[in-house]
Amino acid sequence: MVTRILLYLQYFLGRLLYHIRGHDAGQIIRTSAFENLPLSNMQLEATECGPSGSSMLPHHTCLAADNNGSFPELRWTPPPKVEVKEYILISEDIDPPIPRFVVMHGLFYAIPPTITGVLPSDTEQGRNTREHVTRSGWRYVPNLLGSSYIGPAPPLGHGAHRYIFTIVALSQSIWLDHSQRVSQKQITKAMIGKVVGWGQWVGHFERPWPS
């Protein structure tokens, strides 16, 4: 009985805050690092889900058996006529019920230029979580939960959220002091003058009423 009451309260709050969404201006491509390349020149695909704008599958979300969700399988094409030195990959929720706030679900960098796709295992944390390195040797910026990635989990009643997956190609590798925790702000600042390509895939997910 208490659980059901809490569900109704969550749903009511989600509906009450429904109009707070659409923080598109806060996504990474709106930062100064992209001033010289405002339009996408790369194609990013989610092979499991379908074209951009498709719904994310249950195992990618909070509905997964682990309540976390796995990173969707992605594929991308390198930007034309440029030499890529490093890729950066980020997942953002631009529809949380908090004014002007974008939730970073996962941010990975130091992805080798020979890589043109990602599997769920590539984004999983390595054994030494203090080093913030994935099982594939990529580096990551911890999200709000301190992990490498967390799947979509919008509030009950707040409707469908858009989850923006962005691949960024750099003409130079970024160098940061890894003896201390690296932030998303440091990453975006280090990208300035180096962005030579980017592409996006958008996934949708709405938390259903628990069965």
1-206 is a CATH 3.90.280.10 domain: yes
Query: Domain residues of the chain, as ranges?
Result: 1-206
Q: Helix (H, G, I), strand (E, B), or coil: what is residue 189?
A: helix
Task: Check residue 48 and give its pLDDT.
Answer: 94
Residue with tokens 């805050």: 17
Q: Could you tell me what percent of the chain has a pLDDT over 90?
A: 90
Q: What average pLDDT does the chain have? A: 95
What's the pLDDT at 2? 65
Contact 71, 120 (CB under 8 A): yes
Angle at 31 between CA 94 and CA 168, to 5 degrees: 80
Residue 136 has pLDDT above 80, yes or no: yes
Overall pTM > 0.85 = yes
Contact, 76 vs 43, CB < 8 A?
yes
Q: Tell me the pLDDT tens digit for each residue of 138-168.
A: 999 999 999 999 999 999 999 999 999 999 9
Per mean pLDDT, which of 73-87, 117-131, 174-188 is the most reliable?
73-87
Q: How far is CA 127 from CA 40, 76, 95, 131, 135, in A?
A: 35, 28, 32, 9, 8
In DSSP terms, 104 is beta-bridged to 92
Contact between residue 121 and residue 136 where contact means Cβ atoms under 8 Å apart: yes
CA-closest candidate to residue 195, choices 31, 33, 79:
33
* Residue 89 backbone phi and psi in degrees, to 5: -130, 130
| CA 70 to chain CA centroid, nearest Å | 12
Region 181-190 average pLDDT:
94
For residue 131, pLDDT over 90 is answered with no
